[in-house]
Structure 1
Amino acid sequence: MTLSTEEIIEGAFLEVCPPSDAVDWLKRRRESASKTPLLMRDDNKHQEGILHLRNDAFIEFGLARYGVNAGVAQRIFEREHLGIRCTLLASFPSGGFDPFGDRFLLHASVPTDSRELCALFSNSTLSDSILQKLLERKSPFESLSDETFESAIIALAKNPRMSTPYDETYLDGYRDHSYHKVFSCAWQLAATLPVTPRWASVLYYLLNTCQPARGVDPTAMIRRWYFPTESADQVDAGYFLRSRLADLLAADKALVDARDPALRSSFYRRFKPTDFPSWFKFAESDREHFLDSALHNPNLWRAERDRETLSQLSWNHPDPKSDLMMVNQFRGVEGRMRQQHPEWFNGHE
């Protein structure tokens, strides 16, 4: 490859600059290539090779954190310690996988160490295909133990990819389908995972931040996650998971009339006050469960009239310990709503 004059001068700078300047250079290059990292790999091959030859620990970290060249990354991965390998897995474009063929480029085999897998599935640039294969426990992840799979799922729950809606700026039918298939695979775990309190907790942790799946009927899945309790008033281990699964159902009369309070809780978090003009009466008919969930319904915070009703219901809520818990909860949610949606409160101060 013939280098341009600019690249030659840049290479000379990278040979002698302080390590901190080298890492800043890598960071700037990575940020400028964030939209099209694949196009940068060949462009950065010469410069990253120069930096790797300096054999400096700080530069090595910078290459792991911000590098985009697979050849350099492979040499680092095979030689360095766990911390640097985890940095690569969490940061390298596509997690070190070939985005067109799903072949792992950094080593002869995909990591099986739970710490490395947690780093890998925190990477927000993983391809849809790799995410689907993890969630469906297909090759190269079919032999993961339940414990390791659980660790990977917990790491994935914190990955912003799972909470980010599909960008419809440019319409692409295949990419749309592929992107949403990841969400579908995540929600479908509720139909296949062993029904234990532990898995109920892990799965709720994943789905609580995961975008809702399209075209998935959760009815049968909800029925799986009931656990016996010592008393009728006690919340069982599957309560929060059932409530989250119910978020895939319409917030209609059938849901608010459900016997399971977990399902009614889902309704209270999502219903539109225009569909239920007398919604405040739910506070009397389901006093134990209504307000805890309704306070988190964004539809009830958009209009001043509904906010005032929520405030009044909070003050009227039973307060046997005189700690004004519900009022304080209202104020906490109000502060968050003002930060997230100041436009709802403009003109009503």
Structure 2
Amino acid sequence: MVDKEFLSYWLMHIGPKDVFSWLEENRPKLTKLSLSSYRDPEIESLLLSRSDPLIDLGLALYGHCSETGMELYKRGGEKKETTVISGLYLPSDSSGELFQTTEVDQIKKAVLSGSTVQGSFGRSWVVENGILGELITSGSYYLVNSFLSNGFCGDEIIENIFEKKGVFEHLEDELWLNFIRQAASNPRLSFPVDDLEMFGYRFSEGWKLFETLPVSDRTASTLAVLGKRLLPERAHGMKILKAIERWRVKNSDKPDSNYFCCRFLLSGLIEDFNEKFKKLCDSDDPALRYSYYSRFSTRKLERVRELFNKDEITFLEPALKNENLYKYQAVREELRECCCDYKDPDPDIMIVDVFDYQADQRAKQHPEWFDNLDDILRALDLIDDPCERYSKQLELLSRQVQNILKPDDKSNVKYEGIQGNPASASGEKFIPESKKGRFLFGILVGAVIVYVLHLV
């Protein structure tokens, strides 16, 4: 651990760019509780005393202490210069344009985009101190958007947007929809819920918007974006099928329709072990069949062919992303045959290429699903991370040895250094007697040694 006195001295004497890099490397990690090993108000206070624009920007974006953020926001408001920090850009706003303006605005935007906004018990000082309400009233929406898309803003502010309460209570509908869309980009929405008491209820008001917002092109577009980010967990008391029916309008049966997307996302809330899920494949709504095809599981080849004959591309598009259909070789082959049999109106599109790509990806993630050893090894060679690649290769080799040493062959295994019943001994060593078994066992031991040496 670095001595605090030395660290303080070092940070006070190195250049601003080095301080910025250090702050970036030691920034808080966005976890459920937003905890981090480094959190020292004294060090951040020392860095603030340097009054350097680049260091201030680094503290605003990557600092740990809310006191630092409050001081920088206040300091930004007091400055009157119009100097632009050359070459530095802050995170893009909802329009996708990079924002670069006065130093005052840059620091404020950096604070609202950064990690110092986090507060106690999920409540940010930006809300507690009334700053968010002031920004909305003054029309500083680009700063509001920075805060709403910031993962450190806390759960409560996102819930307030969905429920239209607190500072959002009296907003006009158009502005409210804009803020909902901005909140949809917040990474907190996709965090898994660890607290069982909250299971199925976190951001549930987001799903309830599908029941309450008026049906229109604008709302369908907003909810299509939001639904893709929300966890697919049933909201308490929500009537899913009734909500789906709301978004069934004329000319909305194509997958590129936002109305289609809304119905597809809502049907994802129906658990795949539910009887209602099984009925989706017989629905006259292609969005619901689309949902079924993206999640169903089968080992029957005739079932894959039957669904393809029924819906062709409406079946193939979601089925190719359904990992359940890649688990068994015969099912994979049948799905590929369906791709080959499909005649796309566009001669330049070969949907079988999409299957081959998806199969390669699944072979990397789940090599145990694939029987052809050469194909598996070729897929594993494409993994960029060497540690992950070696780990998968070692796992594959271990399974190959286990296949040789099947339970009915244990009588042919010779144990060394063990007296009595080897099955009951601890720390047993064994060597297979067959040549093939000894060969693979030797490879496994060698691979373990090489893997350990590689990590060292």
| TM-score of the superposed pair, with normalisation by structure 1 | 0.83
Give structure 1 stretches of 5+ with no counterpart. Answer: none
SS state of the match for residue 129, structure 1?
helix
Greater CA drift, 111-120 or 5-14: 5-14
Equivalent of 1:44 in 40, 44, 68: 40
Q: Is the counterpart of residue 163 in structure 1 residue 165 in structure 2?
A: no
User: Which runs of structure 2 are paired with 1:57-206 in the superposition (5 Å)?
Assistant: 57-80=53-76, 81-93=104-116, 95-99=117-121, 101=123, 103-104=125-126, 107-110=129-132, 111-112=135-136, 113-167=140-194, 172-174=195-197, 176-177=198-199, 180-206=200-226
Aligned residues: 335
Instruction: Give the counterpart letter for 2:145 in structure 1.
Output: C
Partner of 1:314: 339
Partner of 1:21: 18
- Kindly indicate whether the alpha-carbon contact (under 8 Å) linking 1:193 and 1:199 is maintained by their aligned counterparts in 2: yes
Q: What RMSD in Å do the two structures reach over aligned CA positions?
A: 3.2
- C-alpha change, 1:69 and 1:106, in structure 2 (3 Å) is farther
- Kindly indicate whether the alpha-carbon contact (under 8 Å) linking 2:294 and 2:318 is maintained by their aligned counterparts in 1: yes
Partner of 2:322: 297
CA displacement, residues 67-120 of structure 1 (integer Å, 9 cap, x when unaligned): 122222112113333333232222225x44443555536853214233223222
Give structure 2 stretches of 5+ with no counterpart. Answer: 77-103, 376-456
SS state of the match for residue 68, structure 1?
coil
Structure whose alpha-carbon radius of gyration is higher: 2
Following superposition, the deviation at residue 277 of structure 1 comes to: 6.4
Distance 1:151 1:33 in 2: 24
Equivalent of 2:268 in 220, 231, 247: 247
- Kindly indicate whether the alpha-carbon contact (under 8 Å) linking 1:73 and 1:106 is maintained by their aligned counterparts in 2: no
Higher RCO (CA < 8 A, seq sep 6+) = 1
Partner of 2:362: 337
- C-alpha change, 1:86 and 1:303, in structure 2 (3 Å) is farther
- Kindly indicate whether the alpha-carbon contact (under 8 Å) linking 2:253 and 2:260 is maintained by their aligned counterparts in 1: no
Following superposition, the deviation at residue 191 of structure 1 comes to: 0.8
Instruction: Give the counterpart letter for 1:74 in structure 2.
Output: M
- C-alpha change, 1:309 and 1:160, in structure 2 (3 Å) is farther
Instruction: Give the counterpart letter for 1:135 in structure 2.
Output: F
Following superposition, the deviation at residue 209 of structure 1 comes to: 3.1
Following superposition, the deviation at residue 340 of structure 1 comes to: 4.5
Equivalent of 1:53 in 42, 49, 54: 49
SS state of the match for residue 311, structure 1?
helix
Q: Is the counterpart of residue 207 in structure 1 residue 227 in structure 2?
A: yes
- Kindly indicate whether the alpha-carbon contact (under 8 Å) linking 1:70 and 1:105 is maintained by their aligned counterparts in 2: no
- Kindly indicate whether the alpha-carbon contact (under 8 Å) linking 1:114 and 1:151 is maintained by their aligned counterparts in 2: no
Partner of 2:242: 220
Instruction: Give the counterpart letter for 1:226 in structure 2.
Output: R
- C-alpha change, 1:6 and 1:109, in structure 2 (3 Å) is same
Instruction: Give the counterpart letter for 1:218 in structure 2.
Output: I
Instruction: Give the counterpart letter for 1:57 in structure 2.
Output: P
Instruction: Give the counterpart letter for 2:157 in structure 1.
Output: I
Greater CA drift, 189-198 or 22-31: 22-31
Instruction: Give the counterpart letter for 1:116 in structure 2.
Output: L
Greater CA drift, 121-130 or 23-32: 23-32
Following superposition, the deviation at residue 341 of structure 1 comes to: 4.1
Instruction: Give the counterpart letter for 1:327 in structure 2.
Output: V
Distance 1:38 1:234 in 2: 41
